[in-house]
Amino acid sequence: MSTHVMRYKPVITGFLIWIICLSLVGAASAYLPLRTGYLGPLPLANFDGLHYLKIAEEGYFQYGEAFFPLYPLVIRAVAGILPAVPAVYTGIGISLMCFFAALMVLYDELKSSKEDYPDRTVAFLLTYPAAFFFAAVYSESLFLLLTVLAWSLARRGRYLIAGLAGAAASGTRLVGIALIVLLYLEYRRKNKRLIPAQWLSLALIPGGLVAYIAYLYQTTGDALRFFHVQVAFGANRSADMIIFLPQVVWRYLKIIFTAIGQPTPVSYAVSVSELLMTVFAFVLLISGFRMRKSLPGLIYAAIIIFIPTLTGTLSSMPRYIAAAFPLFMVPASYNRNTRYAIVLIFAVLQAVAAALFFRGWFIS
């Protein structure tokens, strides 16, 4: 086995095991009741996957502007090259390749910069309860790859390419603009004053978002339509005011203690998981700050976790947390028993969540 392959053996092995386990969960999920309504052509294309495929194949539709354009554009581009391959398989293939590439880049950067335990960071990311979305027709994998690339390239002095990767990230998800903070703090770690190339890279990052805003204004007359249409998707998101986290947590506590099992046991369990995973993410953040982990990464993770809560709900938070890659570096330094317990709990929760998602139940 070549030296290059041996260097990435933990990533390759972990990724293959993850694929096999997801396949087994998919087969076992056939014994669960099927919930119709938002089923895609394949289980990995349920819910948002339906919307991404429709945008890729037909263009934007009413309320579809909630979904940022880069991921469906990539599906469309690859489908144009491989017209015989159904778009759903193209989407899944893109997601899997992006996730694998993101893991490789993350592992390589952590190992090259002698950060703590890169293999453990990869293990936590693979077993995280919402990690199965990295295989789905969702933008999570592409966004993770672009953000990890921007971070790694910035640390290696490839400022222009880092800025372009950041621009692509902000055209994939709104929180991609948080890369401005991450890259700025990374630059300040080495230099008190930024050089012109570094300022240029920061200026490029909002490019994807600005381009989408311009497109929406030209086609709909509403530059912020991606935000204003959120209420149409039934997640109780506020589109006209900012709601701060304490109020959101209070709302969830009321749901948990006054509406036990309602409206369905699964939806109630999802609400509980949304609150618990959000709390767990903030616990990891606090732990990371106390252990003096990478400050730029933790601040970036805090921002991309905090921004979605301003809409007044924790809906989909477990999935959003998966993109906060610096968060998964924190438990890598925990003692062995704690690490094993977290990985075991993560893996079991991912298996349950993935099985339900494959059968048409909204998870995140």
Are the beta carbons of 346 and 124 closer than 8 angstroms? yes
pLDDT band at residue 158 under the 50/70/90 scheme: very high
Torsion region of 25: left, alpha or beta (phi above 0 gives left; psi -120 to 50 gives alpha):
alpha
How much of the chain exceeds pLDDT 90, in percent? 84
Give the type of residue at 70: L
pTM over 0.85: yes
Residue 86: asked if its preceding bond is cis (omega within 30°), the reply is no
C-alpha dihedral, 105 to 109 to 110 to 112, nearest 10°: 130
Residue-level pLDDT at 3: 66
Indicate the pLDDT class of residue 2, thresholds 50, 70 and 90. low
What is the arithmetic mean of pLDDT over 66-70? 97
pLDDT > 70? residue 239: no
Residue 201: predicted pLDDT: 98
